[in-house]
Each structure stands twice: as C-alpha cells, then as structure tokens.
Amino acid sequence: MQSSTLLTASQNSLNAQQAPSLTLLEEGIQTRLEQLTFSAYFPLEFIKESGKTFTSENIERVINHLEVTMIELNYLANELRWLQYIRTQWGVTS
C-alpha cells in the first residue's frame, strides 16, 4: 500500500513538473532578452580591446557573434509569437 501511495505521489509530482507553464515560458523569454542585452556589447568591447583596429581575425569573430545573435533573435521572436498566439487562443491577459 505504501509503495503504491509513493508511486502515485511521485507520478503527480512528475506530471506537475512536466506540465507546460506560461509563466515559465515568459520568464525564459525575459531571461534570454536580458542575456541578449549583455551580449550585444561584445562586438564593441572586443574591438576596443583590440586597439580599435579591424583585423581579419577580429572582423571574423565579430561577424560570427553577430550571426549567432541574429539566430537567437529569430528564436526569441518566434517564442514571442507563440506566447502571443497562446494568450489569444486561451484568452489569457496580463
């Protein structure tokens, strides 16, 4: 009896953890936007540290960073569209 009670409690806890959370989605988006803000300073700081000169090496590094940033922006924009869609479909306001 005790093992079945523990199993049921464990399953309920697991189901609650696996349930989609709109709040968690919003917090994740907010965190990634904040991270993106800090990351945006990298190219400027990198060039300043390189003596404000553009070399083949640091140009390539900045380009790579900007390309990754563009990909991250596309992902974030998509997640925001999903958030907007979910809110519209569920009638959620906040």
Q: Does an H or E element contain 83, and which?
A: helix 56-90
Domain boundaries, the chain: 21-90
Give Cα 66 to chain centroid, integer Å.
17
pLDDT at 53: 83
pTM: 0.68
pLDDT tens across the length of the chain (94 residues): 455 555 665 565 556 678 889 999 999 999 999 999 888 888 888 888 888 788 888 889 889 999 999 999 999 999 999 999 999 998 887 6
Please tell me the chain's helix, strand, coil percentages from 3-state DSSP, rounded to the nearest 5.
85, 0, 15
pLDDT at 38: 87
Cα–Cα distance between 46 and 61 in angstroms, integer? 9
